[in-house]
């Protein structure tokens, strides 16, 4: 049975005005779980979407249950993460981005995860000789960006820049019937209601790129979209990693509470923060934005099962 939920501010804004008071206990290197859960707990659509699920391990049901409780030990999430996959090793530091993706993939029905976090990328390749263009659409739950520039906007420009395919990288043109030089470019063709950026700080060797990178409170995706229209987002959570590698160090996060105030969530310790401190923390690993305009929400994303 399909339910239709209009994408409006009732989903994107809080209907309560509570403070953030509950921390989560770190049990043998579980800060990566705690920080990821805090970011999801304070994602407004997670709490605002009406939902029932009969599955024992549904991320959305467990998040709603945890939000409504006073528990400081998310035992059911530990069970989900350590028993449903061999990807994570108990008592060992793990990657928060992999944890986030795993938890989103365990939202049932899966269309709800796509409804909240899902967007679509357009990859276009245009022949330099005849201008024939081939287009491929690819769904995404977050955007992974190279930390090659000092600002988030410049990292996005690098992600969406037009690339020349030549030499050994020539592309076969269906019109010319041969390999030709071409232009390739990524643009966002459908924007999500919750936009998540994963900064690629860890290489194949696991060593961390500690480059500083700034990010704004408000972000407009206009120049990065296919339709070039205003797509405004507002920052509401930042997950931070400190340390040298993805298997070591420590995770904590900043979250914007239902009372519109910023908090630092560091395992059990919850302390008040402010926007200036959030924006000055240059070690961000995952950045969460929520949409503040209704444009860019295609009809196919206005429903979930």
Question: Which of 69 and 84 is assigned the larger pLDDT?
Answer: 69
Residue 296: pLDDT band with limits 50, 70, 90? very low
The predicted structure's pLDDT at residue 162: 93
pLDDT band at 294; cut points 50, 70, 90: low
Q: What is the sign, positive or negative, of the torsion defined by CA atoms of 292, 293, 294, 298?
A: negative
Give the active site residues. Answer: 31, 250
Coil/strand/helix, residue 173: strand
pLDDT band at residue 300, thresholds of 50, 70 and 90? very low
pLDDT of res. 149? 82
Per-residue confidence band for 282, with pLDDT thresholds at 50, 70 and 90: confident
> What backbone torsions phi and psi does residue 27 show, to the nearest 5 degrees?
-110, 95
Across 182-208, b (16+ Cβ under 10 Å) vs e yields bbbebbbbbbbbbbbbbbebbeeeeeb
Looking at residue 6, its pLDDT comes to: 44
Query: Which stretch of 112-126, 158-172, 203-217 has the lowest confidence by average pLDDT?
Result: 203-217
Q: Which residue would you say has higher pLDDT here, 287 or 212?
A: 287
Q: How confident is the model at residue 2 (pLDDT cuts 50, 70, 90)?
A: very low
> Would you say 268 and 24 are in contact if contact means Cβ atoms under 8 Å apart?
yes
Residue 25 phi, psi dihedral angles, 5° rounding? -70, 135
Q: What does the DSSP 8-state code read for residue 177?
A: T
Alpha carbon distances (Å) from 209 to 98, 237, 242, 279, 283? 17, 21, 11, 19, 10
Alpha carbons 219 and 176: distance in angstroms, whole number: 40
pLDDT band at 302 (very low <50, low <70, confident <90, very high): very low
pLDDT at position 114, please?
Answer: 93
At a CB cut-off of 8 Å and minimum separation 6, what does 213 contact? 147, 149, 150, 151, 152, 155, 199, 282, 284
Mean pLDDT for 135-162 is 94
What integer pLDDT is reported at residue 12 of this predicted model? 86
Of 92-101, 196-205, 282-291, the poorest mean pLDDT is in 196-205
| Residue that the structure tokens 């779980």 belong to | 33
List pLDDT tens digits, range 212-254: 899 999 999 999 998 888 899 999 999 999 988 877 899 999 9
Q: What is the phi-psi region of residue 202: left when phi exceeds 0, alpha when psi lies from -120 to 50, beta otherwise?
A: beta
More confident residue, 30 or 11: 30
Shortest CA distance to 159 belongs to which of 150, 168, 169, 147? 147
pLDDT at 263 over 80: yes
**CA torsion angle for 158, 163, 168, 174 (degrees, to 10)?**
140
Provide mean pLDDT across the span 107-116.
Answer: 92
In whole numbers, what is the pLDDT of the chain averaged over residues?
Answer: 90
Q: How confident is the model at residue 7 (pLDDT cuts 50, 70, 90)?
A: low
Q: Using the predicted structure, report yes or no on whether residue 259 has a pLDDT greater than 80.
A: yes
| Domains with residue ranges and CATH for the chain | 3-296 (3.90.70.10)
Residue 229: its pLDDT value, please? 86
What is the percent of the chain where pLDDT is above 90?
A: 72
Structure token digits, residue 12: 């994107």
Could you tell me how far CA 79 lies from the centroid of its own chain? 23
- pLDDT tens-digit profile of 19-75? 898 999 999 999 999 999 999 999 999 999 988 888 889 999 999 999 999 999 999
């Amino acid at each position: 049975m399909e339910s239709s939920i209009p994408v409006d501010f009732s989903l994107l804004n809080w209907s309560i005005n509570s403070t953030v008071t509950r921390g989560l206990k770190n049990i043998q290197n579980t800060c990566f779980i705690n920080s990821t859960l805090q970011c999801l707990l304070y994602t407004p659509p997670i709490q605002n979407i009406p939902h029932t699920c009969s599955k024992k391990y549904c991320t959305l049901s467990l998040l709603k249950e945890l939000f409504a409780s006073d528990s400081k030990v998310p035992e059911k999430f530990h069970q989900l993460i350590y028993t449903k996959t061999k990807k994570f090793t108990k008592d060992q530091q793990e990657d928060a981005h992999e944890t986030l993706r795993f938890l989103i993939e365990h939202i049932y029905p899966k269309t709800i995860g796509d409804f909240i976090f899902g967007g679509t990328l357009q990859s276009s390749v245009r022949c330099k000789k005849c201008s024939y263009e081939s287009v491929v659409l690819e769904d995404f739950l977050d955007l992974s960006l190279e930390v090659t520039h000092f600002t988030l906007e410049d990292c996005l420009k690098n992600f969406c820049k037009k690339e020349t395919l030549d030499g050994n990288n020539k592309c076969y043109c269906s019109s010319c019937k041969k390999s030709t030089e071409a232009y390739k470019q990524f643009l966002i063709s459908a924007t999500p209601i919750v936009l998540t950026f994963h900064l690629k700080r860890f290489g194949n060797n696991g060593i961390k790129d500690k480059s500083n990178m700034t990010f704004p409170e408000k972000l407009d995706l206009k120049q990065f979209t296919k339709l070039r229209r205003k797509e405004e987002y507002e920052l509401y959570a930042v997950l931070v990693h400190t340390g040298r590698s993805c298997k070591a160090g420590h995770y904590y996060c900043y979250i914007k509470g239902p009372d519109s105030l910023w908090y630092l969530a560091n395992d059990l310790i919850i302390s008040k923060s402010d926007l200036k401190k959030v924006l000055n923390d240059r070690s961000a690993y995952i950045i969460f934005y929520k949409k503040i305009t209704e444009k860019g929400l295609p009809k196919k994303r206005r429903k979930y099962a």
